[in-house]
A = this chain, B = another copy of it.
Amino acid sequence: MRRDIFQAIADPTRRAIIALIAMQAMTPNAIAQHFDSTRQAISKHLRILTECELVQQQQQGREIYYSLQLEKMKEIDKWLDQFRQIWESRFNNLDKLLAKMQKK
């Protein structure tokens, strides 16, 4: 069972769940109402999201509130960094090239 953030966000339903609970914590039932599939299917997605620590639980009586762990989302951002550096350097090169062309 592979369980990393990239595999977690691969599924469109899971991405939708993430976006849904990003602003405020929600219960599985409340989340499931936004989708066509059964509550159990959503529950499974929540388990996957919890396992890779993208999502956090908070028990409240018999209800469980799920919320996004923003810190974990930053790991994706961190992975993108290596490419961001490249696209910025390419932009700079283009910048230099344009400056050079204007000089002539």
Copies of this chain: 2
Question: Does chain B have a CB within 8 A of A23?
Answer: yes
Closest to A76 in B: B80
Interface size counted on chain A using CB atoms at 8 A: 25
State which of A28-36, A41-49, A81-89, A92-100 sits at the interface with chain B. A81-89
Is chain A's interface secondary structure helix, strand, loop, or mixed overall?
helix
Contact A86 B6 (CB under 8 A): no
16 A–B contacts, CB within 8 A, in A order? A2-B12, A6-B6, A6-B9, A6-B10, A6-B12, A6-B15, A15-B79, A22-B82, A22-B83, A70-B86, A70-B90, A73-B80, A73-B87, A76-B80, A77-B80, A80-B80
